[in-house]
Amino acid sequence: MNHGQQSGEAKHEDDAALTEFLASLMDYTPTVYFPFIPDDLVEHYLAKSGFQCPDVRLIRLVAVATQKFVADVASDALQHCKARPAPVVKDKKQQKDKRLILTMEDLSKALREYGVNVKHPEYFADSPSTGMDPATRDE
């Protein structure tokens, strides 16, 4: 009995955490730019996949979850970019002024951990025989 009561109380607390969080989500008015993803956009994509709910707080929850996902991926990519040995040519002038750019390589490495395989071709060619030796080309 005690255990049941305790678990019941614990459930109330857990629910309280969730409800508190959902309530705090709604405090973000458009004046404060959080979450970064607009609600209408999230609602559009959710409706596209069939999820229907009249509650705005759930939309915000999904928006925050997506933001967290993208931020995680971006931070992983940033760490990969930073971890790459910087080509320091001139030590005197450059003081680690490396401008970090989000490239496809870093992104594909970061996304691989999340189960998304992104492969970027190195170059695009007009035809299969472009760039080959003119002697070996069939003309």
Partner 1 sequence: MNNGGGDGGSQQRELPGKRKLFRGSDFAFSIARMAVAQICESVEVNSYQESQTREAVRFSSFHESALEALTDVAVQYIQSIGKTAHLYANIAGRVDGNSLDIVQALEDLGSGLGFAGFSDADHCLADSGVLKDIIHYTGEAEEMPFVYSLPRFPFSKEKKPAPSFSEVGPEPPDEHIPIWLPAFPKTKLCDRSEETNAATIEGEIPRKENGSSLPSMQHSFDGGRLDIHTSPKDVRESPKAVVEGNPFLTAPLRIVEKNVSPVVRPLEISNEVVRTNHVADKHMSNNHHIPVLEASASSDKINNMNWLAESEDGEKEDVARKQRTLVRFKIGTTKRSTCLAKSRSFQEEGWFQENEDKREKKSEIKEKRERIDSQLSTQM
User: First and final CA of the chain: distance in angstroms?
Assistant: 88
- Figure out which of the listed residues 116, 125, 129, 132 binds partner 1, where binding follows CB under 8 A: 116
Residue 112 or residue 137: which is nearer to partner 1 going by CB?
A: 112
Smallest separation (angstroms) from partner 1 to the CB of 71 = 5
Per-residue H/E/C for 20-83: HHHHHHHCCCCCCCCCCCCHHHHHHHHHHCCCCCCCHHHHHHHHHHHHHHHHHHHHHHHHHHHH
| Residue 125 sits in the site that holds partner 1 (CB under 8 A) | no
Cis peptide before 35 (omega within 30 of 0): yes
Residue 7 or residue 129: which is nearer to partner 1 going by CB?
A: 7
| Residue 54 sits in the site that holds partner 1 (CB under 8 A) | yes
| Residue 55 sits in the site that holds partner 1 (CB under 8 A) | yes
Smallest separation (angstroms) from partner 1 to the CB of 113 = 7
